[in-house]
Amino acid sequence: MKYDYIIVGSGLFGSVTAHELTNKGKKVLIIEKRSHIGGNIYTEDNNGIQVHKYGAHIFHTNDKVIWDYVNSFVEFNRFTNSPLANYKGQLFNLPFNMNTFYQLWGTKTPEEAYKKIQEQTKELNKKEPSNLEEQAITLVGRDIYEKLIKGYTEKQWGRDCKELPAFIIRRLPVRYTYDNNYFSDKYQGVPIGGYTKMIEKMLEGVEVKLNTDFLENREMYQAMADKIIYTGPIDEYFNKSLGKLEYRSLEFKTKTIKTSNYQGNAVINFTERDVPYTRIIEHKHFDPVDTAHTVITEEYPSEWKEGDEPYYPVNDDKNMELFKRYRELAKAENIIFGGRLAEYKYYDMHQVIRSALNLISKEL
């Protein structure tokens, strides 16, 4: 065997496993079908501005081990994500907190805000929420649901909020304090100089073959390594033999603008249904630099179709049933399936790293 491991995909899962295995003396080859490393966390330099090519990425975790791990490759800054929501030209703070409640209703104390929300959640009669709409109304009431959640969510997922799982909206905190920090985790930041720098460090000493699709020559690669770690879509690995899993895709429209500061914030969400994009990100605010120009990206969600990048798994009941059947097939293969696409899981970066490190400690 030429390699101990062939890893399919140079995203975060592939890069962490490659780094750890190489450190333990294993011979590793990464096969990546894109023209660059890093998967969806890839950043690219635009005259000094680090552009998040596949959407805004903010690192956050409660796990000190994971925070120290990423900081061992690259220094992180103290960026705190405080997005704004633009609804019909009016701005609201996110996540849902005392600032948002004041902007909506003029409530000034937690008690006033709590009462207002209680009035609006009565319609559900304390029913256990069974979908995203019910969960949202239970958490923040109908006003916020109608203005800041419904339109955004239906654009993002292309489905009615009643057909979406409740867990998606529980990603967002609801706070009775004047705190606009989107995440509640202890540690948060963005790598100074970009995520690509972090991945480059992880992959020092690892052989990487870019522009190469593993599935086009799988027998050849399987004969070259003792083990395969696969981080692509699980249904693609099985030639979609049981049917297609659904994904959401995104189109990124990026513009360079001759102004030093376009929107004054890294992320602004557009929560009404009629604006076709979900958010505009202004890259220089993640990793501030003093430049006369700026780069912004509008994010347009769409249903995944052949040839698109699959960004988000759609974890509704129908897809989860199908995924479980693929997972059964996977058990019979001598292959490790890991990461957001192979595990069909709405993983954040810190969770991907934890899962990759757990895998390595089991493997070795």
What are the beta bridge partners of residue 187? 61
Q: Determine which residue in the list 171, 253, 305, 324 makes contact with ligand UDP, applying CB under 6 A.
A: 171
Query: Which of the listed partners (ligand FAD, ligand UDP, none) does 232 bind, with a CB threshold of 5 to 8 Å by partner kind?
Result: ligand FAD
Q: Determine which residue in the list 269, 294, 297, 319 makes contact with ligand UDP, applying CB under 6 A.
A: 269
Helix (H, G, I), strand (E, B) or coil at 162: helix
> 110-121 vs 98-105: helix axis angle to the nearest 10?
70
Query: Which of the listed partners (ligand FAD, ligand UDP, none) does 10 bind, with a CB threshold of 5 to 8 Å by partner kind?
Result: ligand FAD
Q: Decide: is 271 part of the binding site for ligand UDP (CB under 6 A).
A: yes
Rounded Cα gap, residues 132 and 77, in angstroms: 34
Q: Decide: is 81 part of the binding site for ligand UDP (CB under 6 A).
A: no
Which is nearer to ligand UDP, 62 or 109 (by Cβ)? 62
Residue (of 231, 334, 295, 269) closest to 48 by Cα position: 295
133, exposed or middle or buried, with CB in 10 Å at 0-12, 13-18, 19+? buried
CB of 227 to ligand UDP, least distance (A): 31
Which residues are CB-contacts of 253 (< 8 A; sequence separation ≥ 6)? 277, 297, 298, 300
Tokens of 217: 């020559």
Q: Decide: is 135 part of the binding site for ligand UDP (CB under 6 A).
A: no
CB of 42 to ligand UDP, least distance (A): 16
Handedness of CA 307, 304, 190, 63 (dihedral sign): negative
Which is nearer to ligand UDP, 22 or 355 (by Cβ)? 355
Residues forming the active site:
171, 175, 248, 279, 299, 346, 348
Query: Which of the listed partners (ligand FAD, ligand UDP, none) does 153 bind, with a CB threshold of 5 to 8 Å by partner kind?
Result: ligand UDP
Which residues are CB-contacts of 145 (< 8 A; sequence separation ≥ 6)? 133, 136, 137
Tokens of 359: 């895998």
Which is nearer to ligand UDP, 116 or 279 (by Cβ)? 279
Q: In the Cβ-directed half-sphere of 350, how many Cα atoms lie within 13 Å?
A: 19
Which is nearer to ligand FAD, 143 or 236 (by Cβ)? 236
Under DSSP, the state recorded for 246 is: P
Q: Decide: is 94 part of the binding site for ligand UDP (CB under 6 A).
A: yes
Give CA separation, 106 vs 102, 103, 112, 147, 328, in Å. Answer: 4, 6, 9, 16, 53
CB of 360 to ligand FAD, least distance (A): 14
CB of 199 to ligand UDP, least distance (A): 20
Rounded Cα gap, residues 292 and 270, in angstroms: 26
Q: Decide: is 168 part of the binding site for ligand UDP (CB under 6 A).
A: yes
Query: Which of the listed partners (ligand UDP, ligand FAD, none) does 58 bind, with a CB threshold of 5 to 8 Å by partner kind?
Result: ligand FAD
Stretch that binds ligand UDP, among 62-70, 121-129, 150-158, 219-227 (CB under 6 A): 150-158
Stretch that binds ligand UDP, among 11-19, 164-172, 193-201, 315-323 (CB under 6 A): 164-172
Query: Which of the listed partners (ligand FAD, ligand UDP, none) does 297 bind, with a CB threshold of 5 to 8 Å by partner kind?
Result: none
Angle at 24 between CA 18 and CA 30, to 5 degrees: 20
Stretch that binds ligand UDP, among 18-26, 98-106, 148-156, 215-223 (CB under 6 A): 148-156
Query: Which of the listed partners (ligand UDP, ligand FAD, none) does 353 bind, with a CB threshold of 5 to 8 Å by partner kind?
Result: none
